[in-house]
């Protein structure tokens, strides 16, 4: 079974998807981490982030992998911590917007998703990567709450800078942030993580064969 969890930055996707996967005994696939890893490699190699086709080739030649501990690897390097830097936050939407990049990434995501029960988190999972996913959820929250959650993850950065970053990222990601028509939309603004997880778990149990 595939559980697709989409939504904007700071909506709570990662925390919810991780905890849900743990509770269900499903694998967890973070597709944002894949775009982040590619962005890290492009910067490392000095490739311009505005030019799509070479980035698509870079992605094809360097498939992102996740090890058993959930660490993220690209080109033989463990980039788990490096991909959470601000410079990656800022550049990743630029890299992720190229069709050549998305094509390679989506193929890889389908390949990784095909290996059994999995919770996949991203922006376009329910719409494009896994339109046949048995459960589709779209998480959202007020922008001030999303900025506050991001702040907790990036304590070194000022609140205003983060809010601006988030707004720019939302604009850039907007084209891919459409909820699937058949997605369950959950506003997490006032909800606890465990409540969101429990709600999705119920959907999963309803659709799981007895």
User: Is 96 one of the binding residues for ligand DC (CB under 6 A)?
Assistant: yes
> Smallest distance from the beta carbon of 124 to ligand DC, in angstroms?
5
Total binding residues for ligand DC by CB under 6 A?
Answer: 14
Q: Are 139 and 186 in contact (CB under 8 A)?
A: yes
Q: Are 35 and 103 in contact (CB under 8 A)?
A: no
> Smallest distance from the beta carbon of 206 to ligand DC, in angstroms?
25
Q: Which long-range contacts (CB under 8 A, 24 or more apart) does 19-26 make?
A: 19/193, 19/194, 19/197, 20/119, 20/197, 20/200, 20/201, 20/204, 21/118, 21/119, 23/197, 23/201, 24/117, 24/119, 24/201, 24/204, 25/117, 26/1, 26/117, 26/118, 26/119
Write out the binding residues for ligand DC, residues 141-200 only, by CB under 6 A. Answer: 169, 173, 176
Q: Beta strand pairing status for 77-78 and 72-74?
A: antiparallel
Out of 31, 62, 91, 188, the residue judged to bind ligand DC by CB under 6 A = 31
> Smallest distance from the beta carbon of 80 to ligand DC, in angstroms?
12
Q: Are 4 and 201 in contact (CB under 8 A)?
A: no
Q: Are 131 and 180 in contact (CB under 8 A)?
A: yes
> Smallest distance from the beta carbon of 70 to ligand DC, in angstroms?
14
Q: Which is nearer to ligand DC, 2 or 124 (CB)?
A: 124
Q: Which is nearer to ligand DC, 7 or 24 (CB)?
A: 7
> Smallest distance from the beta carbon of 89 to ligand DC, in angstroms?
7
Out of 9, 133, 147, 180, the residue judged to bind ligand DC by CB under 6 A = 9
- The structure tokens listed for 150 are 């991001």
User: Is 92 one of the binding residues for ligand DC (CB under 6 A)?
Assistant: yes
User: Is 140 one of the binding residues for ligand DC (CB under 6 A)?
Assistant: no
In the complex, which residue's CB is closest to ligand DC?
Answer: 32
Out of 123, 136, 146, 149, the residue judged to bind ligand DC by CB under 6 A = 123
In sign, the C-alpha dihedral spanning 44, 45, 46, 50 is negative
> Smallest distance from the beta carbon of 169 to ligand DC, in angstroms?
5
Phi, psi values for residue 103, rounded to 5°: -60, -45
Residues that bind ligand DC (CB under 6 A): 9, 31-32, 35-36, 92-93, 96, 122-124, 169, 173, 176
């Amino acid at each position: 079974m595939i559980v697709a969890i989409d939504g904007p930055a700071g909506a709570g996707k990662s925390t919810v998807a991780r905890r849900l996967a743990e509770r269900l005994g499903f694998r967890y696939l973070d597709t944002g981490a894949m775009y982040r890893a590619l962005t890290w490699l492009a910067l490392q190699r000095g490739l311009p982030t505005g030019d799509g086709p070479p980035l698509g080739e870079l992605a094809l030649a360097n498939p992102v992998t996740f090890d058993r501990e959930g660490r993220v690897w690209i080109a033989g390097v463990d980039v788990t911590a490096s991909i959470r830097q601000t410079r990656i936050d800022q550049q990743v939407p630029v890299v992720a917007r190229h069709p050549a990049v998305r094509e390679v990434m989506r193929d890889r995501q389908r390949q990784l998703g095909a290996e059994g029960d999995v919770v996949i988190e991203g922006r376009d999972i329910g719409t494009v990567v896994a339109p046949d996913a048995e459960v589709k959820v779209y998480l959202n929250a007020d922008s001030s709450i999303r900025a506050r959650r991001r702040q907790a993850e990036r304590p070194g950065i000022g609140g205003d800078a983060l809010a601006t970053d988030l707004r720019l990222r939302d604009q850039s990601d907007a084209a891919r942030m459409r909820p699937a028509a058949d997605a369950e939309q959950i506003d997490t603004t006032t909800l606890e993580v465990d409540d969101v997880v429990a709600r999705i778990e119920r959907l999963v149990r309803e659709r799981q064969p007895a």
